[in-house]
Amino acid sequence: MLTISQLATYAGVTTRAVRHYHQIGLLPEPERDQSGYRSYDADAVVRLIRIHALADAGVPLARVQELLDAGPEEFADGVQEIDKELRGEIRRVQRTRKRLARLAGGQHLALPECVVDYLDRLRDLGVEEQYIELERDAWIMVAAQVPDAIEAVIARKHEDLNDPDVIKLYSLLNGAVEMPADDARIVEFADIIERLAIRAAAAGELDATAFDDGFAALLDATMLNSSPGAERLLAILEARGWQGWTRLHQVPRSAG
C-alpha cells in the first residue's frame, strides 16, 4: 500500500494536486491506516495517471471528471471536441506569433503592417519623427477601431500621396508640431487643406470611412491637443465654412 507521496510520484504529480483531486471528488478518498494516513493501491495510481494525462492536455478538471466516468462513446466524443479546441488554440497562438514578429523590430506595437509601411513612406518624404509619432498613435486607434477596413483606408492614403498638394503639405510640416498659434504658415496649411477638401468633395469621397461619431470626435480632440497651432488651423477653416477634421465637411451657409 502506498502513501500519498508515493502515489503522487508514481503518477508524476504533487501531493497537493492529489489532495485537490480528493477535494473536488475527482479521485475517491482511499482508506486510512491506523494513524490516519491515506493508503492507496494500484488502481488509484492508474486513475491518477489518467487524470494527469487529460489535465495536462488542458482539459478542465470538471470535464476530466465527466470523461473518466463516461462510456467509451462519450469519451471519444469528448476527446474529439478537446482536439478541436486544441487546433483552435494552435491557430490562435500562431496568429499571435505573427503579430509579435511584426512588432519585434521596433515600436510598431498594435499596428498592422500596411500602416507601418505608410509611416515609413512619410518618413521617406522627410516628415519629422515627432509628427510621425502623432500619426502613429492615431493609426493605432483607427486600426483597433476598424481592423478590417484598415487596409483600404491606408490604400486611399497612399493614393492621396500622388497629389502634389499633399506632398507639399507634408513637406511644409516640419516644425508644425511645435508651431505656435500665430505662425504664418498655418494659413498656408489651411489653404492647401481647403483645396484638397474641395477636390475631395467634388469627387464625392467624403464619407469613405464609417467611424462612429464618438470615435471621430476622439480623433478630432487628439488632433487639437497635438499642437498649439491646431486650434488656430481649425478656426481658420471654420471661418471659411468648414467643420470637423476627421470628417472635414462644408457647412451649409445659412442666411443671416
Partner DNA sequence: CTTGACCTTGACGTTGCGTCAACGCTTCAT
Partner DNA sequence: ATGAAGCGTTGACGCAACGTCAAGGTCAAG
Rule CB under 7 A: choose which of 45, 47, 50, 61 binds DNA. 61
Task: Specify the stretch interacting with DNA by CB under 7 A; choose among 28-36, 89-97, 128-136, 180-188.
Answer: 28-36
102-161 binders of a copy of itself (CB under 8 A):
103-107, 109-110, 137-138, 140-141, 144-145
Q: Rounded to an integer, what distance in angstroms lies between the CA atom of residue 107 and that of residue 95? A: 19
Least Å distance between CB 178 and a copy of itself?
A: 18
- Positive or negative, the CA dihedral 92, 88, 24, 35 is negative
Complex with a copy of itself: residue 171 or 225, whichever CB lies closer: 225
246 closest CA partner among 222, 220, 208? 220
Q: Give the Cβ contact number of residue 168 at 10 Å.
A: 12
Judge contact between 171 and 126, C-beta under 8 A. yes
Complex with DNA: residue 20 or 121, whichever CB lies closer: 20
Rule CB under 7 A: choose which of 1, 10, 20, 166 binds DNA. 20
Q: Is 47 in the site for DNA (CB under 7 A)?
A: no
176 closest CA partner among 131, 121, 110, 211? 131
In the list DNA, a copy of itself, none, the entry touching 99 (Cβ below 5 to 8 angstroms by class) is a copy of itself
Q: Rounded to an integer, what distance in angstroms lies between the CA atom of residue 73 and that of residue 50? A: 17
Judge contact between 174 and 127, C-beta under 8 A. yes
Rule CB under 7 A: choose which of 12, 25, 28, 60 binds DNA. 60
Q: Is 1 in the site for a copy of itself (CB under 8 A)?
A: yes
Q: Rounded to an integer, what distance in angstroms lies between the CA atom of residue 256 and that of residue 242? A: 17
Q: Rounded to an integer, what distance in angstroms lies between the CA atom of residue 133 and that of residue 222? A: 12
Q: Give the three-class secondary structure for 184.
A: coil
173 closest CA partner among 117, 122, 239, 218? 122
In the list a copy of itself, DNA, none, the entry touching 72 (Cβ below 5 to 8 angstroms by class) is a copy of itself
* Positions that interact with a copy of itself (CB under 8 A): 1-2, 6, 10-12, 41-43, 45-46, 49-50, 52-54, 56-58, 72, 75-76, 79-80, 82-83, 86-87, 89-90, 93-94, 96-97, 99-101, 103-107, 109-110, 137-138, 140-141, 144-145, 214-215, 218-219, 221-222, 225
* Positions that interact with DNA (CB under 7 A): 3-6, 13-17, 19-20, 33-38, 55, 60-62
